[in-house]
Structure 1
Amino acid sequence: MLRTALSCCLLIAATCSAASEPPPIPLAQDPVPAQSARLLLSRDANAPTACDVEVLLGERQIVTLALDTHTELELPPGEYATQLRLSRAGYCGTLNLGSNQSILINPGERRHLQVIYNDDGLFLAPADG
Structure 2
Amino acid sequence: MSQTDDAPESPYRLHFEQRPNYLYAVVSGPEDSLEITLAYWREIAVECLTRRATRVLVVDELGGTPMPPEQIAELVKNMQGSGMESVQVAFVEPVMAHVPLMEHGEIFAMESGFNARVFSSVNEAERWLRFGGN
For the superposition of Structure 1 and Structure 2, which TM-score range results when normalised by the shorter chain? Answer: under 0.3
TM-score by length of 1: 0.26
TM-score by length of 2: 0.25
Work out which structure has the larger RCO, using CA pairs closer than 8 Å and 6 or more positions apart in sequence: 1
Q: Which has a greater percent of strand?
A: 1
Q: Which has a greater percent of helix?
A: 2
